[in-house]
Amino acid sequence: MNKKMEFLKKIGVFRVKESPKHNYHLMYNYRLWHPLTILLIIITFPINIFCEGIFDAIEDVKDLKRLYYWENKYK
């Protein structure tokens, strides 16, 4: 097995099964998806909150402008 496959096997990306046809047959290992998805959620969660905060702020500014406009119109 070459170095790359050994490294991937070490991290847990591939489970290697010996088979009579080829010297090794790679099976994708689903155990890796669990930590990756958790990491992805941890990374994207603050970004989502931040973006929602920005959109809320934009809406607030629009509301304030509208309010200011109506207040000045009916003075």
Which pLDDT score is estimated for 44? Answer: 78
Query: How many domains are there within the chain?
Result: 1
The pTM of this model reads 0.32
Write out the residue range of the structural domain in which residue 68 sits: 3-73
> Which residue bears the tokens 């603050």?
46
Report the C-alpha gap between 50 and 30 in whole angstroms: 31
Report the C-alpha gap between 34 and 12 in whole angstroms: 12
- Of residues 8 and 40, more confidently modeled: 40
For the segment 44-53, the average pLDDT, to the nearest whole number, is 75
